[in-house]
Amino acid sequence: MDEAALAQLEDYLRHLALQRRLSPHTVSNYRRDLERLRDWCSQRGIAHWHELDSHGVRSFVATRHHQGLGGRSLQRALSSLRGLYEYLLREGLVKSNPGLDIPAPRSEKHLPKALDVDQTARLLALSDDSPLGRRDRALMELFYSSGLRLAELVALDVDSIDQADHTVRVLGKGSKSRVVPVGSKALAALAEWQRVRGQLAASGERALFVSSRGTRLSTRSIQQRLRLRAREQGLDQPVHPHMLRHSFASHILESSGDLRAVQELLGHADIATTQIYTHLDFQHLANVYDQAHPRAKRRKE
């Protein structure tokens, strides 16, 4: 592709990072998808974005599918392509979006993995009272208490927590702010962490959770610490940050049955995204049935 097209791609990626304030991880995914599209276009002599039509998009999707890309990844690649063309349309650089109405192959739906209540309690029963131990306990309690996304937790500052109001203010996807309740155990863990935070935090650092170097804790560090703590607490499965968000949602739904409230707490724009947790709820009920119903027991014997 020519230099103008490459510059337009970089402008769009900067727009995602600076204007839409998407997380670095999300921008990185967009970049990877769009650079593959760029390379595909270059190999076929397409020099400008306006030269790509719907037939070309279908061919691109077919090529990626033959290369082994799954349905979910193809859907994300198409979403990246459509987002780029929406931007180019607004800038008056193209006249149409060739990715509209182009379907991706369907992918098998996988339920998000969640910890049960006992597993969650075991994970959070962390007895390490060192500054790092208090930090890890506080961030895990807050994850589970409020159902935060990893990027939302990383972005929290000290003043994001309102101890008096028992809430946390987070900046979610699309720069949408929401206020989420914080449970009493999480508040207590946060208070314990804030008492020793000054031993680690660099001067002037506003981040709520900091590393041993005194700067804002990174997403990778949180992922690693959670895996470490899960092993230390004897959990027999890998635990990642989003698993605590899934656990929060499924446990709330099991207790309340209020899907709309769970949608608001999670910050989902579309309730269809939240409806996956109704399947988790049914999965829990089915497990209880299989363990408790006399006929179910006989069927297993």
Task: Give the active site residues.
Answer: 149, 173, 242, 245, 268, 277
Q: Which residue has the tokens 């203010």?
A: 169
Residues near 33 by beta carbon (within 8 Å), at least 6 away in sequence: 76, 77, 80, 81
Residue 186 CA to residue 161 CA, distance in Å, equals 11
Contact partners, residue 126, CB within 8 Å, separation at least 6: 133, 136, 137, 140, 229, 232, 233
Q: How far is CA 203 from CA 23, 85, 101, 133, 165, in A?
A: 25, 44, 52, 21, 27
**Residue 201 DSSP code:** S
Which residues are paired to 177 by β-bridges?
Answer: 171
Identify which of 161, 157, 116 has the alpha carbon closest to the alpha carbon of residue 142.
161
